[in-house]
Chain A
Amino acid sequence: MDAASHPRNEPSRTRSVSSWREHHGWSAADSLRRLAARPFGSLLTIAVMGLALALPLAFCLLLGNVQQMGRALGQDQAINVFLQPDQGESQVQLLAKQVGDRSDVAAVTVKTPQQGLDELAKLQGFSGALDALEQNPLPYVLMVQPKPGLDAPTVERLVGDLRDLRSVAQVQDSGSWRQRLDALLGVGDRVVLALALMLAVAALLVVGNTVRVDIASRSEEIGVLLLVGASGAFVRRPYLYAGIWYGLFSGILAALLALAIEFALSGPVAQLSQAYDGKLHISGLPLWLLLATPVAAAVLGWLGARLVSAWQLRKAA
Chain B
Amino acid sequence: MIQFDQVSKHYAGGHEALSQLSFTVPTGEMAFVTGHSGAGKSTLLKLLGVIERPSHGTISVGGQNLAKVRGRGIPKLRQRIGMVFQNHRLLMDRTVFANVELPLTIAGIARQERGRRVRAALEKVGLLSYERQLPATLSTGEQQRVGIARAIVGRPSLLIADEPTGNLDPQLALEIMGLFAEFQQVGTTVLIASHDLPLIKRMRKRVVVLDHGRLVADLAAEEVL
Contact = CB atoms under 8 A, between A and B. Distances in A.
A binds B: yes
Interface of A: 1-11, 15-16, 18-20, 22-23, 220-221, 223-232, 234, 317
B115 to A, nearest CB: 13
B21 to A, nearest CB: 19
Given A224-B102, A230-B75, 19 more contacts: A1-B27, A1-B62, A2-B27, A3-B77, A3-B157, A4-B64, A5-B62, A7-B80, A9-B104, A9-B155, A11-B108, A15-B110, A19-B110, A23-B105, A224-B91, A227-B78, A228-B79, A229-B103, A231-B72
Contacts of A230: 75, 106
A19 B108 contact: yes
Contacts of B157: 1-3, 6, 8
B111 interface: yes
Contacts of B62: 1-6
B164 interface: no
B158 to A, nearest CB: 4
A160 B186 CA distance: 98
Contact of A234 (B27, B77, B106, B113): B106
B27 to A, nearest CB: 6
B75 A5 contact: no
Given A2-B157, A11-B109, A229 B79 contact: yes
Contact of B78 (A1, A20, A22, A229): A229
A7 B110 CA distance: 16
A1 B63 contact: no
Given A2-B157, A3-B156, A4-B61, A225 B106 contact: yes
A11 B83 CA distance: 20
Interface string B116-150: 00000000000000000000000000000000001
Contacts of A234: 75, 106
A66 to B, nearest CB: 53
A13 to B, nearest CB: 9
B224 interface: no
Nearest to A16: B108
A229 B64 contact: no
Nearest to B89: A224
A234 B77 CA distance: 15
Given A4-B77, A7-B79, A9-B154, A227 B89 contact: yes
Nearest to B94: A221
A3 B109 contact: no
A224 B111 CA distance: 21
Interface string B72-89: 101111111101000001
Contact of B80 (A9, A19, A23, A221): A9
A125 to B, nearest CB: 86
A8 to B, nearest CB: 4
14 contacts: A1-B157, A1-B187, A2-B64, A3-B61, A3-B156, A4-B80, A5-B62, A5-B63, A8-B154, A8-B155, A10-B107, A19-B111, A227-B51, A234-B106
Contact of B106 (A2, A18, A22, A228): A228
B1 interface: yes
Contacts of B81: 3
B189 interface: yes
A65 B51 CA distance: 61
B213 interface: no
B97 to A, nearest CB: 14
B40 interface: no
B49 interface: yes
